[in-house]
Amino acid sequence: MKLTDILRLSLNSLTHRGLRSWLTILGIIIGVAAVIAMLSIGQGMSQNIQSRMGGFGADVLTVSAGQARAFGPEGSFNVRFEGGSPSEGSRGDTSGSSSSSSSGSSSSSTTSPTLTDTDLNAVLSADGVKAATGIISGRAEVSYLSKSVTTTVEGIDPTVWNTMTTSEISSGRLLESGDGMGVLIGSRVATETFDSNITVDSQILVGGKTFTVVGILKESGTGGFGSDDRTIFMTISSARDILTSIDQSEYSSIQVKVESTDLVDATITSVTNELLSSRDVTSDTQDFTVTSPTSMLETITSTMQTMTFFLTGIAAVSLLVGAIGIANTMFMSVMERTRLIGILKSLGTKNSEIMKLFVAESGIIGLTGGLLGVFLGFIVVGIISEIGFNLMGLGAAGRMAGGTSASVAVVTPELVFFALAFSTIIGIVSGLIPARKAANLEVVEAMRSE
């Protein structure tokens, strides 16, 4: 029996059992669509995180007071710290490569740990450190024209900060040391926060004091992962006048520029050792955290991969149910066509050809289910890409740098090929036992079957 004859007989059999065949195929469709949706969501989220974290600067470390212990709110990666409390209210956005940081009034058994000039000097003495600067951050009321909002304010040393930041200027210029009453604002502060857009040389009130906008940053697109887009930057001396809860010698965080990206891990170790010594603590009582964009990205990616595999495993259960459905359908097909099998054998059809006939049927069911499952998967992915970020509370994080849309789910050609191949294999494997049963039927017994 030729392969074309086997395929023609298989298709003819499936056509005659239309409703049963389609119900069997439906199980595969749902399973494939679910697997594609889960895997594409995981891959899409990983790509979005990597693109957002990529703007942080791989050679910039952040030292924060307190021990990191958890993820931040609303799905974004904000490092929380034991023993630390936000300055001037909880910080909703962080800058550049910084993790969220905490500060308090003093370091003791009853108060929150802080960072001081002593810590900054210790960091500067560490091996591999090219530059370091203290940053203070908090939230303050900002007014422009008739509208007032509360947003993040950061006090920086422009001389050092300008060499570390990966943010780019949209208009105007970066801050300079002499800009005592000047501010640098994020793109969304300029275009989305107030009723009218803020332009360079505009005057805004920050904490009741008048400042002139000297520059506006390009949109970084890092959303909840440490964006400069909703931050107002000013010199650290000006920020201390506004964020009055932070003592004159304290910092919310310390940013560290490493001499080379190859030395990041070694520099983290060196900075940690210097701070352990200067703060007179041990690794068990450590009251500070040194983070890097690379370590943050690795942690997030690992978590995303674990979640993706877990959800994909759940989705794969429906494929297992579909496989059982195929096996059931094929067993029923063998029982219904026992006499036909006997006739084919009496005409000289070999056992291997009978087996190929039924395996081809189950394979076609798997392939058809896979094709339609991929199509349904594309529809599901499209819906998720359209509304997924809003449903998951990521909001502005769904936008890439430059304001273009980012997909939360990505379907690759490899994923499509995997889905089709896997569904076809599931179909073939599910049909092997029924096909073997059909091939082993005795001719006389099969001919006598009604």
Which residues, in sequence order, are CB contacts of 220 under 8 Å at separation 6+?
A: 55, 166, 167, 186, 187, 227, 228, 229, 401
Q: What's the pLDDT at 16?
A: 77
* Residue whose C-alpha is closest to residue 89's, from 156, 155, 151, 144: 151
Alpha-carbon separation of residue 14 from 17, 20, 204, 363 (angstroms): 5, 9, 73, 11
Q: What is the DSSP letter of 196?
A: S
The lowest-confidence range among 127-141, 216-230, 240-254 is 216-230
Which token pair is 59? 């050679």
387 or 222: which leads in pLDDT: 387
Continuous segment of H or E residues that includes residue 215: strand 209-217
What is the DSSP annotation of 40-84?
HHHHHHHHHHHHHHGGG-TTEEEEEESEE----GGG-----EET-
| Residue 173 confidence (pLDDT) above 80 | yes
Distance set, CA 29 to CA 268, 317, 383, 418 (Å): 49, 13, 17, 14
The C-alpha atoms of residue 80 and residue 100 are separated, in whole angstroms, by: 7
Looking at residue 388, its pLDDT comes to 57
**What count of residues does the chain have?**
450
Question: Cα dist. 156→95, 103, 129, 330, 398 in Å?
Answer: 11, 16, 18, 71, 28
Of the two residues 127 and 387, the one the predictor is more confident about is: 127
**Closest to 261 measured CA to CA, from 290, 289, 297, 293:** 293
Is the per-residue pLDDT at 178 higher than 50?
A: yes
Which pTM was predicted?
A: 0.58
Residue 302 vs residues 62, 245, 296, 298: alpha-carbon distances, Å: 21, 37, 10, 6
pLDDT of residue 77: 39
What is the C-alpha separation between 210 and 195, in angstroms, rounded? 19
272: tokens are 């940690």
Examine the pLDDT at 88 and tell me if it is beyond 50.
Answer: no
Give which of 108, 436, 56, 55 is closest to 255, Cα–Cα: 56
Which stretch, 292-301, 355-364, 406-415, has highest mean pLDDT? 355-364
pLDDT over 60 at 225, yes or no: no
Q: How far apart are CA 194 and CA 111, in angstroms?
A: 38
What's the first-to-final CA gap in the chain, in angstroms? 25
Model pLDDT for residues 325-382, shown as the tens digit of each residue: 888 888 887 777 777 778 877 777 787 888 888 888 888 888 888 899 999 988 888 8
